[in-house]
Amino acid sequence: MPELPEVETMRRGLTPVVGCRIDDVIRPPCRLRPISLRPGIAAFARRATGRHVTAIGRRGKRVLIDLDDKQTIVIEPRMTGLVLLADPPGTEHLRLCFELSADGKKDKPRRLMFWDRRGLGTVRLLTSSRFAAEIDSRLGVDALTITRDQLREKLCRSRRAIKVALLDQSAVAGIGNLYAAEILFLAGVDPRTRCDKLTGPQWDRIARHIAVVLLDAIAHEGSTLSDGTYRNALNDPGGYQNCHRVYDRADLPCLRCESGVIRRVVQAQRGTFFCPVCQRKSGRHAAVSQNSVSPDA
């Protein structure tokens, strides 16, 4: 967390900075664990200052800020990072500030900030060749565009559980723990099933519901969990947490079948949530209709 829907929401919220000039890059004093910044702040500021922002993009779980000299600022929020245009939740965890100007245009932002409570995020300024080598070549097909054939080709020979495999960013870029659980619930697939044991129809349903879940979550501007950490670029919470069907619902009745009770198991050191009735390992159950489940508000 943040996963693809949250990072895509950040990307969309940052589009007003396109056309702005970076006037300064500041690393505020912080007594807490420092984020990973490359190059160091002096070189970073020297290379970025005076450059104009030409586009805001996303690659998997990373925000991309393209500059007019073909460099890209790559921000990976990881667990608790936020990319903001509005005032941050607090100044103690403010890690990096970009001072902006836009030739007198009053409607343009004056500052872009990276805030990170745990300090696990990274910010890198990369040339196009370094971006290709360090980012693009290491990530799989974006989860929003991956096809059924691409998904199956990447994972069908793996002996890993499908839930664990979906988290492999070199295979599918953007899916994390939360959305993998929601995708597999709607697809009617037990998260413990090995990839090499999945049937063709199961692959079809998984691929289809990757898009269904992620696009719905983006429409709700992502999920703000109980810790309240995730916020969009204007420091407002997301709304998809009110639509979760299985995630963080352990020991509660299944919202679809009402006879199953949501279970939590640990896979690859992460909690997995599923309904043992709707997601039988035999694969006999068909996919869950998205409209057949109405999560509690």
Catalytic sites, residue numbers: 2-3, 61, 270
Nearest Cα residue to 20 out of 73, 90, 81: 73
Dist CA 28 CA 33 (whole Å) = 13
In the block, tokens 């890209």 appear at 72
Strands 21-26 and 111-116: unpaired
Dist CA 179 CA 222 (whole Å) = 10
Q: How far is CA 126 from CA 67, 69, 130, 145, 223, in A?
A: 10, 11, 6, 25, 30
143 secondary structure, DSSP code: T
Angle at 177 between CA 13 and CA 93, to 5 degrees: 50
Dist CA 162 CA 214 (whole Å) = 17
Give the list of residues 6+ apart from residue 43 with CB closer than 8 angstroms, or none. none
287 secondary structure, DSSP code: P
Strand partners, 59: 62
15-25 burial, b at 16+ Cβ within 10 Å, e below that, comes to ebbeebbbeeb
Residue 163 Cα to chain centre, angstroms? 16
State the chain's maximal CA–CA distance in angstroms.
Answer: 64
